Structure 1
Amino acid sequence: MRIHRNDAHTFSARRLATTAAAVAGALALTACSGGGSTGTGGSATGGDGTVTVWHYFTDEQQVRLMEEYKAMFEAQHEGATVENVFVPYDQMNSKLISAAGAGQGPDVVVFNGAEASTLALAGALAPLDEHWDAFADADQFPDSVIHEVDGTMYAAQGYVNLLGLWYNADILAEIGVEPPTTMDELESAMAQAKEAGYQGITLSGLPNSQGEWQAYPWLTDAGFTYEAPDAGALEAGLGRVRGWVEQGWLPQESVNWDQTVPFQQFAAGGFAFAANGNWQQGTAEADAQFEYGVVPLPVGTDGKVYLGGEGQAIGAHSDDPELAWDYLEATYFSTEGQLLAPEIVGSIPSRADAAQDEVVTSNTLLAPFAESIERSGANYPDGVVPAEAVADLQLAMGQAWSAVIGGQRTAADAARGAQATLEGLLG
């Protein structure tokens, strides 16, 4: 598929409505809830009228979405104020847990949905069952976007995200290749792009959960699974991506890149590909001065792509949980709020009604992501990982991924170390 950043979106409404429903059905994430509304800046619980929202976004379009939600809520709730507070991704969990230990923290937190169990078990999130039970539109949300730990609801997702293969159509046209559908085609295209003076691919090589998120498709393509982890398959997957560095297709400095920086690099025009998400649609439209498109990650029949996104929850020590719920209900969980996500960022709404809106169904850039959901979508985190082991597993795998890309460890050594850790975590 080829598309220019200013082309009209023409994807079939019927097909994407079906696949958007598959997003919800395939995703295995869990839940959030909320409570009563006052309609004013204060609340029945005597808060200060300010909703403090912690997030880790650095991407311009994701920050813009947060600002749109702020404006939307303040317009609907006279006297209320929303304060968006940036917390670096790699500090979010520790700061939330530390604040909760001191009886403090934000009113609302927007966090990596896969870490709901970590934060809930640490006492950083408020149970939200009562709010969700009273929420009139709760039936619009599939169980797959609900975050639950030990039978208690803690967070829900207002949208879902996953990785695809973005490509620079101008570069591919220049070197005479089609968007790749297999790993061999991808590597051949990167080699030809390098010969033509371009770089191959951008991705995140951070030694944390972002790295594990990016590593998962390539590792599973090599036959690795958490259900039956095998050091040989893990070595093969890690070794392949290290080979990309050695061939000059992937910059070694990607070990310092979160998921925002790689796409900025791609949008600048010097790379043929970017392994990145549907949420980068707004950045592509704003920054890319070339034709671009997306295809599913070419991970074959064995490869899997995580289905995830941010969870939204109320902080365990919010000074106004009622107003915090009002914020969530009016923004992330409302039809109006969810339709801003595909328009501004490119994220897929989690509500059934919003997922079938024309802003989603007419968007051709979302079609490859929907196809990937049907073909390769995987629960995030993997359902075989115990809730208490998720954070440690993500860290161990992210560190192995980053160390191999950066050349600090060989693929064989990193695979053996990660395998030993996994055996302890997975039993």
Structure 2
Amino acid sequence: MRHSSTSVLGSSLVAAAFVLTACTGGGGNGNGGDGAAEAEGPQTLTVWHYFAEDAQVELMEAYKDKFESANDGVTVDNVYIPYDQMNSRLVNAAGAGEGPDIAVFNGAETSVLALGGALAPLDDYWSGFADADLVQDSVLHSMDDELYAVQGYVNLLGLWYNAEILQELGLEAPTTMDELEDAMAEAEDAGYRGITVSGLPNSQGEWQAYPVLSDAGFNYENLDEAALTSALTRVATWVDEGWLSQEAVTWDQTVPFQEFSAGETAFAINGNWQRGNAAADADFEYGVVALPLSDTGGVYLGGEGQGIGINSANPDLAWQYLEQTYLDSEGQLMALETVGSLPSREDAAENELVTEDEILAPFSETVARFGANYPDPVVPPEAVGDLQVGMGQAWSAVIGKQKSPEDAAADIIATLEGLLD
């Protein structure tokens, strides 16, 4: 999808065939409320996002309605950009003096977009934000001591399970990776599928791989080739045993959950944001537990970053949108109820909608037990893109049987040594 600050802004930009033009009106004054919009007359804010799942699209529309209702004369235009095109289109548009007012993107890729000149610094807005102290520091994305993106929520991976399949087999939800593999084997023997994951050769693949890699003792501070080989051998075994389909190399995180929701698969390593989709699509009893990792295991605390486009004609109004949607307590609870995303504000995170939810509680447990910064702070900002793509490619190559675990580990270790030196 992208490489690093230089290569992404090379190959991926060449791949982008056209640039989207932002539809923006006159600049707002940032004072909030109806008066700001009325004083400037009709205005349009353009929001670029990559959401295709129904619940996520519903949330974008809910934010649109919330902001338009509070600000007469303002229209919010939500524009879908495919995930694998978002970075290149943002950077291309910035170079052409165009682009959205607001961008919603993979928060871990903030440095890629900032290095590409696509985002405006947010420091002045953040320093004036009355509720800044309520927002977790882990959701602030800076580069060179300048803030470029915030997150209105936290997303992470857990282990979804089909409770009816486990009950039929007389099994409990697994608490270790060995128990998970034993359960997958029994499910396969009974005519079910074992597990679904994303095997894309990009940052989504690296995101999906990290818990398995770290469970085996691998991390980016300690480039242990033996530990990495062990982790990749584990997932190769899943494919060899028929528990995981090789088709996973073409699956983003949407397709694996659709496969799980069809009811013939025992497990899915997927996110809290699937709660709404599970309720709508899964015609069976299901549950979630924390990923059954070892003491070295880690789960990325990710989610979408929200930033202001560098060429926004309405930067004050764009920030007003962020304050009243993603960074607002009510707005964060809307994301919780609609999608299942965990709030990044302390007051919203303490709401009973989080603490008493059977699906969200295991994700909250995961944050405490296994939560890991995303991206890893040891990775230089200019290397984030290449590292994510490189590891995603290694993960995908093993699932797709293009490389052995040993070869994939050796190749990516050589790449990582150069990136992290």
Instruction: Name the aligned partner's letter for residue 114 of structure 1.
Output: A
Q: Aligned pairs, how many?
A: 394
Task: Check if 1:102 corresponds to 2:76.
Answer: no
Residue 365 of structure 1 corresponds to: 359
Is the Cα contact below 8 Å between 2:102 and 2:307 reproduced in 1?
Answer: yes
Is the Cα contact below 8 Å between 1:205 and 1:258 reproduced in 2?
Answer: yes
The partner residue of 2:371 within 354, 362, 377 is: 377
Residue 221 of structure 2 corresponds to: 227
TM-score by length of 1: 0.90
Provide the rounded CA distance (Å) in 2 between the counterparts of 1:242 and 1:105: 42
Provide the rounded CA distance (Å) in 2 between the counterparts of 1:193 and 1:62: 31
Provide the rounded CA distance (Å) in 1 between the counterparts of 2:36 and 2:402: 53
Paired residue secondary structure (2:33): coil
The partner residue of 2:31 within 34, 37, 44 is: 37
Provide the rounded CA distance (Å) in 1 between the counterparts of 2:307 and 2:72: 23
Provide the rounded CA distance (Å) in 1 between the counterparts of 2:30 and 2:298: 40
Residue 66 of structure 1 corresponds to: 60
Instruction: Name the aligned partner's letter for residue 105 of structure 1.
Output: G
The partner residue of 2:126 within 120, 128, 132 is: 132
**Could you list the runs of 4 or more consecutive aligned residues of structure 1 that deviate by over 2 angstroms after TM superposition?**
37-48
- 1:243-265: CA deviation from partner (whole Å, max 9, x where unpaired): 10111100110111111111111
Q: CA, structure 1 residues 65+189, in 2 after alignment: closer, same or farther (shift >3 Å)?
A: same
Paired residue secondary structure (1:390): helix
The partner residue of 1:262 within 253, 256, 260 is: 256
Q: Indicate the larger mover: 141-150 or 272-281.
A: 141-150
Q: Indicate the larger mover: 292-301 or 39-48.
A: 39-48
Provide the rounded CA distance (Å) in 2 between the counterparts of 1:314 and 1:35: 15
How much does 1:38 deviate?
Answer: 5.0
* Mapping for residues 341-352 of structure 1, pairs under 5 Å: 341-352=335-346
* Mapping for residues 282-293 of structure 1, pairs under 5 Å: 282-293=276-287
Paired residue secondary structure (1:364): coil
Q: CA, structure 1 residues 201+141, in 2 after alignment: closer, same or farther (shift >3 Å)?
A: same
Provide the rounded CA distance (Å) in 2 between the counterparts of 1:129 and 1:257: 37
Residue 331 of structure 1 corresponds to: 325
How much does 1:45 deviate?
Answer: 11
Provide the rounded CA distance (Å) in 1 between the counterparts of 2:176 and 2:268: 15
Is the Cα contact below 8 Å between 1:36 and 1:131 reproduced in 2?
Answer: no
The partner residue of 2:106 within 95, 100, 112 is: 112
Instruction: Name the aligned partner's letter for residue 133 of structure 1.
Output: S
Paired residue secondary structure (2:137): coil
Provide the rounded CA distance (Å) in 1 between the counterparts of 2:224 and 2:294: 19
Residue 199 of structure 1 corresponds to: 193
Paired residue secondary structure (1:50): strand
Residue 13 of structure 1 corresponds to: none
Q: CA, structure 1 residues 279+257, in 2 after alignment: closer, same or farther (shift >3 Å)?
A: same
Q: CA, structure 1 residues 205+89, in 2 after alignment: closer, same or farther (shift >3 Å)?
A: same
Q: Indicate the larger mover: 90-99 or 45-54.
A: 45-54
How much does 1:301 deviate?
Answer: 1.0
Give the number of the structure with larger relative contact order, counting CA–CA contacts within 8 Å between residues 6 or more apart. Answer: 1
Provide the rounded CA distance (Å) in 2 between the counterparts of 1:314 and 1:348: 22
Provide the rounded CA distance (Å) in 2 between the counterparts of 1:373 and 1:135: 26
- 1:219-249: CA deviation from partner (whole Å, max 9, x where unpaired): 1111111001122211111111011011110
Is the Cα contact below 8 Å between 1:164 and 1:297 reproduced in 2?
Answer: yes
Provide the rounded CA distance (Å) in 2 between the counterparts of 1:310 and 1:330: 17
- 1:267-306: CA deviation from partner (whole Å, max 9, x where unpaired): 1101000000111110111111111111111111111111
Task: Check if 1:180 corresponds to 2:159.
Answer: no
- Between the aligned residues of both structures, percent identity stands at 65
Residue 81 of structure 2 corresponds to: 87
Provide the rounded CA distance (Å) in 2 between the counterparts of 1:345 and 1:166: 15
Residue 242 of structure 2 corresponds to: 248
Residue 156 of structure 2 corresponds to: 162
Residue 413 of structure 2 corresponds to: 419
Is the Cα contact below 8 Å between 2:354 and 2:361 reproduced in 1?
Answer: no
Provide the rounded CA distance (Å) in 2 between the counterparts of 1:401 and 1:241: 8
Is the Cα contact below 8 Å between 2:38 and 2:73 reproduced in 1?
Answer: no
Is the Cα contact below 8 Å between 1:35 and 1:325 reproduced in 2?
Answer: no
Paired residue secondary structure (1:103): coil
Task: Check if 1:398 corresponds to 2:392.
Answer: yes
Q: CA, structure 1 residues 203+35, in 2 after alignment: closer, same or farther (shift >3 Å)?
A: farther
Task: Check if 1:407 corresponds to 2:398.
Answer: no
Is the Cα contact below 8 Å between 1:41 and 1:49 reproduced in 2?
Answer: no
Is the Cα contact below 8 Å between 2:59 and 2:338 reproduced in 1?
Answer: yes
How much does 1:43 deviate?
Answer: 5.5
Is the Cα contact below 8 Å between 2:94 and 2:117 reproduced in 1?
Answer: yes
Gaps of at least 5 residues in structure 1 are 1-33
How much does 1:41 deviate?
Answer: 8.9
Is the Cα contact below 8 Å between 1:56 and 1:86 reproduced in 2?
Answer: yes
Paired residue secondary structure (1:204): coil
TM-score by length of 2: 0.91
Residue 275 of structure 1 corresponds to: 269
Provide the rounded CA distance (Å) in 1 between the counterparts of 2:109 and 2:319: 20
Instruction: Name the aligned partner's letter for residue 288 of structure 1.
Output: A
Provide the rounded CA distance (Å) in 1 between the counterparts of 2:238 and 2:29: 50
Alignment RMSD (CA, Å): 1.6
Is the Cα contact below 8 Å between 1:45 and 1:322 reproduced in 2?
Answer: no
Is the Cα contact below 8 Å between 1:42 and 1:80 reproduced in 2?
Answer: no
Residue 214 of structure 1 corresponds to: 208
How much does 1:362 deviate?
Answer: 1.7
How much does 1:39 deviate?
Answer: 3.3
Provide the rounded CA distance (Å) in 2 between the counterparts of 1:92 and 1:48: 28
Provide the rounded CA distance (Å) in 1 between the counterparts of 2:36 and 2:51: 28
Paired residue secondary structure (1:394): helix
- 1:56-113: CA deviation from partner (whole Å, max 9, x where unpaired): 1111111111111011111111111111111111111111111111111110011111
